Amino acid sequence: MSSPPALLPHVFEHRVRANPAGIWAKYPVATDNYEAGFRSVTNQQVLNAINRMAALFDRQLGASQRFQTLAYLGPNDLRYFIVVMAAIKVGYKIFLPNPQNSMAAHVSLLAKLRCRVLVTAYEDLSSFQIIFDHYPLHRVRIPALDELIDDAETVDYPYRKTPETAQDDPILVLHTPASSGPPKPLVYTHRSILQSVAAIPSPDGAQSTSLLLMLPSFNIAGLAMSLMIAAWDACVTVYPLPSATPTTTNFVDALDDVQRDWASLPPVVATELGDDRELLHAIAHELEHLYYVGGSVPLSAGDAVSSAIRLYQIEKPVDQTVIPQIRLQMADEVVM
């Protein structure tokens, strides 16, 4: 009988051992513009950040023995990945709510999960005060991203569980969209993550690529691309400005300043590209393909985009999303 696949922390740590100086992700140096360029973060630097975050959780909360839930709210940046991985190491499951949920939705989800701790990267939480008034939460503030991403040596926070014993441990909670009714929590285990991302091994000759991620990291598609596909397939995630809304203007601005092979974006951006032939022509040579996630694109706009760039759709409910990673071979290459 074959052994279960490796758990997510083990997959990432294997990548660090194999290539500590390899690039895990890139993010803008400035928080409000791309003029200063992008910072490349190595596998080792990210592992250091995860260990620092795990130690912070352990000091302030203690290790969890029963997979208690921690909620996280923060800018759309690499800290989502760091927080998820650190929480797994310390025995918690992390809940990633949509910050735009109504007060009633926030309170309902927190109560269902019996969540009493909010981990946050925000300094100003005044916009969430109405939630705290109805549902008190202990708050844990985490450091700035540049402070976490440090070359200084850090103590390893080990994750000693095995695939045989831990594959059904809960590690992550998302929720159904409010548009489908009152949101419901969706709990993911190691097994469900592995089944959706790592069920099929990469084919011989597959190449790792870089992804411009124009999706929020609390969304299953955004998280799958920035965390799961990145871990198993060595895809380098390129983050946009942390506070930037996923508009066509912001997408084009990001394209001008960083090397990337493909991009994931909301359907409204794909639609606007299809309706603006001049803009579409200008960016067609910049990308190998595009994904759009979270809705439909009018046929005419989709046909226009796909005539210039390979276009792929992910059209699944949040609890069933599987990201297709292997596509039709073009020329003599296998593209991941």
Q: Could you please report the per-residue DSSP string of 237-298?
A: EE---TT----HHHHHHHHTTS--SEEEE-HHHHHHHHH-HHHHHHHGGG-SEEEEESS---
pLDDT score, position 316: 56
- Identity of residue 4: P
Reported pTM: 0.89
How far apart CA 105 and CA 67 sit, in angstroms, is 22
Strand, coil or helix: what is 42?
Answer: strand
pLDDT score, position 196: 64
Report the Cα 49 to chain-centroid distance in Å: 16
Give strand ranges (E) for the chain. 23-28, 38-42, 69-73, 93-95, 117-120, 138-141, 170-175, 185-189, 206-207, 210-213, 236-238, 262-265, 289-293, 310-314, 334-335
Q: Is residue 173 part of a domain?
A: yes
Using an 8 Å Cβ cutoff, are 231 and 171 in contact? Answer: no
- Which CATH number fits the domain that encloses residue 39? 3.40.50.12780
Q: Which of 272, 278, 281 is nearest to 301 (CA)?
A: 272
| Residue 194, number of CB atoms within 10 A of its CB | 20
Using an 8 Å Cβ cutoff, are 138 and 69 in contact? Answer: no
Which tokens in the block code for residue 31? 């928080």
pLDDT score, position 329: 53
**Boundaries of domain holding 295:** 8-335
Q: Is residue 289 part of a domain?
A: yes
| Residue 251, number of CB atoms within 10 A of its CB | 22
Q: Could you state, in chain order, the average pLDDT of each consecutive group of 10 residues for the chain (336 residues)?
A: 69 90 94 91 96 98 95 96 97 95 94 97 90 94 94 90 93 87 91 69 61 88 80 85 90 82 91 94 87 89 93 65 52 41
Contacts of the segment 199-206: beta carbons below 8 A, 24+ positions apart:
200/326, 202/233, 202/325, 202/326, 202/336, 203/326, 203/334, 204/334, 205/333, 205/334, 206/233, 206/326, 206/334, 206/335, 206/336
Q: Is residue 3 part of a domain?
A: no
pLDDT score, position 229: 76
CA angle 155, 53, 140 (to 5 degrees): 140
Q: Is residue 127 part of a domain?
A: yes
Q: Is residue 256 part of a domain?
A: yes
Q: Is residue 155 part of a domain?
A: yes
What is the phi/psi pair of residue 180, to 5°? -100, 15
Q: Is residue 1 part of a domain?
A: no
pLDDT score, position 288: 85
Q: Is residue 259 part of a domain?
A: yes
Query: How many structural domains are present in the chain?
Result: 1
